[in-house]
Amino acid sequence: MKLNVTSYGRLPTYAKCTRCKGKALVHLPSHHANFCNECFLVFFRNAVKRAMKLFPLRPRDPIMVAVSGGKDSLALWSVLTELGYYTKGLHIDLGIPGFSEASREASKQFARSRNLELSFYSLKDLFGFSLLDIRSRTHRMICSVCGMLKRQFLNRLAIQEGFSIVATGHNLDDEASRLMGNILRHRESYLAKAYPYLPAMPGVASRIKPLFRLESEEIRIYCQIQNISYVKDRCPFSKGATSHIFLESLEFLESKMPGTKRDFLFGYLETKRPPTSDETPGERCSICGAISYRNICGVCRIKEELTKRDGRIVKGKAT
C-alpha cells in the first residue's frame, strides 16, 4: 500500500476526510477517523465544547488560563479564545534553570502574537524559594511539591486578580495515567478528586480541565496546524517521575488496542458525579488560610521545613 507519511501519522495517499470527504491529512486511530486540517479543527473545538458543557459555567464567565508555555496550555488558551471565552493568561516562573526562561518566552510570545493579556509571577517572589532552591534543600518528590505549589498559587493569584475559574491544560493522557497510578495504589482520597471539574468555594476558584477529552498527540497536531510555538522539552526536574512510567504503560496498551486510554478514563468518569463544594474540606490552614485537610496546609509545611533548614545552615556556618 502506498503511504503518504504526513507529520500527523501514516495515511494512504487516497485517504479521505471522514467529515468532508476531501483529502485527509490527519489520521486518528483511536477514533477510526481521518480528517483534513479544517475538519480536524472542528473535531478539536467540538471536543472542548463538549467538555465545557460538563462544567457549570455561564458563557460570559471570565477564565484565568494557567499557561506553562508547553503545548497543552497554549492550545487551551488558543481554543478557548476561538470559542469566544474571555480569558487572561497566568504564568508562574518556577525557577528551573534554562527550562523556566524558555517557558516564559514561549508564553510571552504566544500572548503577544494573539494580543492576549498575560500576568507573570515568580515562585521565588511568591514563596521565597525557587524550585531549584527547593530541590537542593529537601528530599521530597519534587514533582509533587511543584504540583502542590502550583495548585495553591494559581488559585491564590486568580482570586487576587478577580477570577473565579482557573483552567489548566491537563489532557486525556495526563488524566488517564494519573487515574491508573491512583487505582494501582488504592489512593481513595486522590480518586475522589479525579474529575475534570472542581467547584468553587469561598476563597477558592473552580478548576476546569477543558482538554480532558483530547489526547496529547491531538493537541500536538492542533498546535502544528495553528502555528503555535511551544516548549518541546520535558521539565528537567521530572526525569524518572513515576507519572511517566504510567503514561508509557498506557501508550503500550493504546498501541495494541487503540481507544484504550479514552475507554479507561471516560468509563471511570461515567461512574462519578461532579463533586460538590460540600465534599471538599472546609478546614482552613491556620497560617495562610488556604483550604486544607490539616491544621497547617501542605505549602506552609514545606515552607516551615525549608525555613528551619535554612536556620540550621546559617547557625552551622556561624559556629
Task: Give the footprint of ligand AMP on this chain (CB under 6 A).
Answer: 66-68, 72-73, 90-92, 94, 147, 150, 168-170
Give the torsion sign (CA, 253, 254, 258, 263).
Answer: positive
Residue 82 Cβ, how far from ligand AMP at the closest point, in Å? 17
Residue 236 Cβ, how far from ligand AMP at the closest point, in Å? 12
Q: Which is nearer to ligand AMP, 90 or 265 (CB)?
A: 90
Per-residue CA distances from 219 to 48, 169, 225 (Å): 11, 10, 10
Instruction: Provide the binding-site residues for Zn ion, judged by CB under 5 A.
Output: 285, 287-288, 290, 297, 300
Per-residue CA distances from 169 to 57, 67, 184 (Å): 17, 8, 24
* Distance separating alpha carbons of residues 162 and 86, to the nearest angstrom: 13
285 binds, among Zn ion, ligand AMP, none (CB under 5 to 8 A by kind): Zn ion
* Distance separating alpha carbons of residues 232 and 103, to the nearest angstrom: 10
288 binds, among ligand AMP, Zn ion, none (CB under 5 to 8 A by kind): Zn ion
Q: What is the 3-state secondary structure (H, E, C) of 276-296?
A: CHHHCCCCECCCCCCECCCCC
Residue 289 Cβ, how far from ligand AMP at the closest point, in Å? 22
Residue 230 has a CB neighbour count (10 Å cut-off) of 21
Q: Which is nearer to ligand AMP, 70 or 199 (CB)?
A: 70
Residue 92 Cβ, how far from ligand AMP at the closest point, in Å? 4
Query: Measured at CB, which residue is nearest to ligand AMP?
Result: 169
Q: Which is nearer to ligand AMP, 19 or 244 (CB)?
A: 244
